[in-house]
Structure 1
Amino acid sequence: MKICMIGVGYVGLVTGTCFADKGNIVCCIDTDQEKIKALNSGIIPIYEPGLKDMILDNKQNGRLEFSSDLRNSIADSLLCFITVGTPPNKDGSADLSYVLNAAREIGKCMDNYLIVVTKSTVPVGTTDAVRDMINSELKARGKEKLTFDVASNPEFLKEGTAVADFMCPDRIVIGCDKGPIAVCMRELYKPFAHSENKIITMDIKSAEITKYAANAMLATRISFMNEMAQLCDKLGGDIENIRRGIGTDMRIGSQFLCAGVGYGGSCFPKDVNELIHTGQKNGFEMAIASAVHKVNEGQKKYFVDMIKKKLSDNLQGKKIAVWGLAFKAQTDDMREAPSLMIIEELLKMGGQIAVYDPEAMEQAKQALKKENHKIEYANDMMRAVAHADVLVLITDWQEFREVDLDQLKKVMRQPVIFDGRNQFDPLEMVKHGFRYYCIGRNCYGK
C-alpha cells in the first residue's frame, strides 16, 4: 500500500518506518524543513533502539522517503495517517491545533479517494472533527462530491521498545464506521498480527477513549505502588517484597509495579490530565485519575524531601552527582522527566551539580538551559561522580546497575547514595560501606 504519514515526530517516524519495513511505500511529511533535511541526510532526531538502521535500510531500498510536499504525497496514497503532536494546554486539555491543521491541509490537497487515520492521541470526538474539517475544505474548493473515510488507530508504543512493540504488538485497535475500512486496515496490519485476535475493531469513539484508558490504568498502577512505598517507609515494610507478593497474582501481573520517583514522558502526564479535563468538560469528576496525578506530583517532592531531611537541608559546597536524566531508560526523552524538578530543587539547596545520562545529554541541556551555567555535564558516569559528596540516581539505565561498587566508593568524596529507582540491594550497599537511601525499603534501617 502507499501511505502518507503527516508528522515526523516519535509516533510518525516509528510507524512510518515499520510500515515501510513490511513492504509498503511510505512518505513521511513534516513542515519542519530542517528535520526533513536531516532525515534525508541520515540524521535521526530521536534515540530509539533499532530505529536508525531500519530507517536507513528502508530509505535505501526506496520504501521510505521524507518530504514537505503533502500534495504530491497524497496524490496516489490510499491511506493518510495523522501523527502530529497533541501537547497539553495550560488547563490540561490536549492542543488539537496541529491535528486540525493537518486535516485542513488534507482537504486543500486531496483529489482522490483517501482513508484518513488519526493515530495521534486525541480526545473523543476528534476524528469526527477531522472529518468535518476535511469536508469544509472540500466544499470551499467545490469538491464536496469527492469521497473519503476516517478511522481511529491509536498507538500503544513504549519508548525504548517502540520498534519491537510495533513489529509484534499486544493488540491493534481500529476504530471505524464502515466494514470496508476495517478490511483495509486489517490487511495493512496483517503482517504485524500473527493472530487475527490481536486486531480489535470497534466504533471510533471507543477507540479514542481506549488509548486514554490504557495510559491512565498504567499510571494508576505506578502511583498506587508509590503510595504503598511511602507507607512502607513509615511502617518498615519492603516495597520490593510487596511487589513480588502481588505481582505473582495472575489477576494483577508484574508490570508497572516498581516504586520510584514518579512517571514522566510525553504520554502518562498529558493523557491523565486530558482525561481529567474531559470529565470536567462533561460535568463528571474523574476522581481516580485526579488522585493518580496528585500522587505522582507528590512522589517527586517526597524524594526531594528525603534528600533534604537526610542532609539537613543544606548542600552548600557539596558536589551532587546525578545519574539519569531521561524520564526512563532506553530513550532520550526529557518531556516531564522527574529529573528536571529534582535538579532544580537540588540547585536551590546550594548543591554543585554534575549530571550524566547515556542518551539524553543534549536534550537535557535544552530542557535545563536556564540553569546550564550551574550544571556540569560529564562525559561518563564515573566522571560525574568523581569527588561527589552525594549520588542521586533518577533513571534506571542498565549501566548504572553494573557499576563496580568498590570503585564507586573510591572515587566519591563521601559514600552517600539516594536511589530513586531502587536499583541496588540495600544490604549489599551497606556491606560496601555506603549510606544508602531508597524508596519504600526503610526496614533495612536507613
Structure 2
Amino acid sequence: MKILIVGTGYVGATTAMVFAETGWQVTGLDVDAGKIERLKEGRLHFHEPGLEELIAEHVRSGRLQFTTDKAAAIAGHDVIFICVGTPSGADGSADLRYVRQAAEDIARHMDGYKLVVTKSTVPVGTQERIKAWIAEAQPAPLPFDVASNPEFLREGKAVEDALRPDRIVIGADGRRAAERLKSLYVSFACPQLVTAPRTAELIKYASNSFLATKISFMNELAKLCDKLEVNVSEVAEGMGLDPRIGPSFLQAGLGYGGSCFPKDVSELVGAARKNDADLRILEQVMDVNRTQSAYLLDKARLRLGGFAGRTVAVLGLAFKPDTDDIREAPALRIIDRLLREGADVRLYDPVASLPGGADYRAVAVCEEAEDALRDADAVMLCTEWPAFGRIDWEEAKRLLGQPNFFDGRNMLDAERMRRIGYYYQGIGSGY
C-alpha cells in the first residue's frame, strides 16, 4: 500500500516520517508550495528535535516524497490520512473547513477504492460527516471507507512518541477498514485498540482533557502550598509514587498552552453544552489555566511595588521547551500584562519568536539570555529550556539591577538561589 498524507504541518510531517521509517512508500500533499519546496529539500518549517533529520533521510532514499498535485497524489495512493488543521472557531468549536476540503478533493480525484483516515483532532461524529462529504462530492460512486486514527504526540517529543507510541487507537465501522489500518502498524509492539469511530474521536479529547485537569489541579494546590509553607514539588513527588496517579503532569507552573490542550478542552466543553451535558470540572480547569499566569505576576508586582518604569527580563516564550510553538503560551499573557502596566520588557527564547504586529514592538528581543538580564529589576522564567539551567546564576546576578527572580516553572533550586543572594519565588515553593 502507498500512503498519502494530506497536510504537512506538525502532525502530517511526523506521520509521514513514521510510516517512511517503518518501510512504507509515503507522499506528503499540501497546498502551500513554499512549505513543500522546503520539505523536498529535507527542511522543516517548524522546530521539532530529531524530525528534520529523519525526514531528510527518507527524502534522500526516495521513500518519502512531497507534492502539491492533488489529482495525481489522490489517484495514486491507497490509504489517505487527513492531517489538516482544525482551528477553534469564534464559539470555541472546531472549524472543519480544511477537513471538508480534503474530503471533497479526495472525492473528486479518487479512481478506485480508498481508505480515508482522520489523524487530525476532530469532534465526535466527524467520521460520519466525512463519509457524507465524500459521497456527495463524488462525480460517480466509488467505494471507500473512513476510519479514525487519532494522534497522541507531545510537541518536543514527537519523534519518540511516533516511533514508540504507548497505544494505537483505530476507530472503524467495518472489518475491511480496521484490518487495512492495523496492517500499517504491524511492526509496532504497543497495545492496539479497535473501537467505533465515535469512541476513537472521543478518546483523544478525553485523554488531553484529563492531562490538563492534572495540571490545573496541581496549580490550584500550589497556591495552598504557598499558604501552608509546603513545597508543591515535594508533594507532587509523593503523589507520583502512587501508580494509580503517576508522576507525569504533576508539575505546578504557569499553566498549559500549545496547540492541543487549550483547544481540546474547550472543544470538549463546547460539545457537552451542545448536547445538554455539563463538564463542570473541565470548565474549572479552563478557568484555572486562564488565571494562573496572574498568580506569578501578583508576586512580582508586590515585590517591585508595581511594574511601571521597571525593567523585566522574560526568559522563555514557547509554551514548553523543545518547540517554537507560542499558541496559548503563558509567556504571552505575562508580556501583555507587563506592557499594559508600563514595564520595559526584555525577552529571550532560544527558538521561539513573537508574533508579528504592533502589539509587541515595545518588547526588546535579545540574542542572548545575558542581554535580557542586564540591569533588569526582575527575572520571570516562563519556559523551562535546559539552557536556563546551565546559566551560572551566581555570576548572572552581577548583571541584574535587582536580584529578583520569579520562576514560573519551578525549574531552579530555590534554596540555592536564595543562598547566593536572590529574592526567589516559584509557584507553590512554600514561601
Equivalent position of 2:124 in the other structure: 124
CA contact under 8 A between 2:147 and 2:171: conserved in structure 1?
A: yes
Secondary structure at the counterpart of residue 397 of structure 2: helix
Equivalent position of 1:407 in the other structure: 395
Q: Deviations over 1:84-141 (max 9, x none)?
A: 0111111111111111111011111111110000010001000110000000011xx1
In 2: Cα distance, 1:41 partner to 1:387 partner: 43
Superposed displacement of residue 147, structure 1: 0.3
2:250 to 249, 257, 260: 257
**TM-score, normalised via structure 1 length:** 0.95
Superposed displacement of residue 414, structure 1: 1.2
1:194 to 164, 189, 214: 189
Secondary structure at the counterpart of residue 410 of structure 1: coil
Equivalent position of 2:97 in the other structure: 97
In 2: Cα distance, 1:224 partner to 1:389 partner: 31
Q: Determine whether 1:339 maps to 2:331.
A: yes
Q: Determine whether 1:149 maps to 2:145.
A: yes
In 1: Cα distance, 2:405 partner to 2:374 partner: 13
In 2: Cα distance, 1:314 partner to 1:88 partner: 33
Where do 1:389-400 residues align within 5 Å?
389-400=377-388
Q: Deviations over 1:44-101 (max 9, x none)?
A: 1111111111111100111111111121112121100000011111111111111111
Superposed displacement of residue 319, structure 1: 1.8
Q: Determine whether 1:215 maps to 2:208.
A: yes
Equivalent position of 1:52 in the other structure: 52
CA contact under 8 A between 2:307 and 2:338: conserved in structure 1?
A: no
1:301 to 294, 304, 316: 294
1:268 to 252, 261, 264: 261
In 2: Cα distance, 1:129 partner to 1:164 partner: 32
Greater Cα shift, 26-35 or 210-219: 26-35
In 2: Cα distance, 1:41 partner to 1:156 partner: 27
Equivalent position of 1:236 in the other structure: 229
Equivalent position of 1:162 in the other structure: 158
Matching residue's letter, 1:353: V
2:374 to 386, 392, 411: 386
In 2: Cα distance, 1:283 partner to 1:401 partner: 48
In 1: Cα distance, 2:14 partner to 2:43 partner: 14
Greater Cα shift, 153-162 or 233-242: 233-242
Greater Cα shift, 180-189 or 112-121: 180-189
Superposed displacement of residue 22, structure 1: 1.5
In 2: Cα distance, 1:358 partner to 1:373 partner: 19
In 1: Cα distance, 2:384 partner to 2:399 partner: 21
In 2: Cα distance, 1:70 partner to 1:128 partner: 23
Equivalent position of 2:20 in the other structure: 20
CA contact under 8 A between 2:42 and 2:59: conserved in structure 1?
A: no
Q: CA RMSD in A?
A: 1.2
Q: Deviations over 1:210-232 (max 9, x none)?
A: 00000000000000000000111
Q: Deviations over 1:291-341 (max 9, x none)?
A: 11011111122222222222212331x221111100000100011111111
Secondary structure at the counterpart of residue 186 of structure 2: helix
2:167 to 171, 187, 206: 171
In 1: Cα distance, 2:257 partner to 2:160 partner: 21
Matching residue's letter, 2:241: T
In 1: Cα distance, 2:355 partner to 2:382 partner: 17
Secondary structure at the counterpart of residue 200 of structure 1: strand
Equivalent position of 2:307 in the other structure: 314
Matching residue's letter, 1:57: E
1:348 to 340, 346, 349: 340
In 1: Cα distance, 2:153 partner to 2:351 partner: 19
Secondary structure at the counterpart of residue 5 of structure 1: strand
Identity between Structure 1 and Structure 2 (%): 44
Equivalent position of 2:219 in the other structure: 226
Unaligned runs of 5+ in 1: none
Q: Determine whether 1:288 maps to 2:281.
A: yes
Equivalent position of 2:180 in the other structure: 184
Secondary structure at the counterpart of residue 252 of structure 1: coil
In 1: Cα distance, 2:159 partner to 2:112 partner: 32
CA contact under 8 A between 2:150 and 2:169: conserved in structure 1?
A: yes
In 1: Cα distance, 2:99 partner to 2:418 partner: 53
2:199 to 206, 214, 218: 206
Q: Determine whether 1:372 maps to 2:351.
A: no
In 1: Cα distance, 2:253 partner to 2:21 partner: 36
In 2: Cα distance, 1:161 partner to 1:203 partner: 28
Equivalent position of 2:65 in the other structure: 65
CA contact under 8 A between 2:232 and 2:430: conserved in structure 1?
A: no
Secondary structure at the counterpart of residue 151 of structure 1: strand
The size of the alignment, in residue pairs, is 431
Unaligned runs of 5+ in 2: none
Secondary structure at the counterpart of residue 297 of structure 1: helix
Superposed displacement of residue 266, structure 1: 0.3
Matching residue's letter, 1:28: G
Secondary structure at the counterpart of residue 115 of structure 1: strand
Secondary structure at the counterpart of residue 237 of structure 1: coil
Secondary structure at the counterpart of residue 414 of structure 1: coil
Superposed displacement of residue 365, structure 1: 4.0
Q: Deviations over 1:337-364 (max 9, x none)?
A: 1111100111112111111111113xx2
Q: Deviations over 1:383-410 (max 9, x none)?
A: 2212222111000011111211211111
In 2: Cα distance, 1:441 partner to 1:42 partner: 44
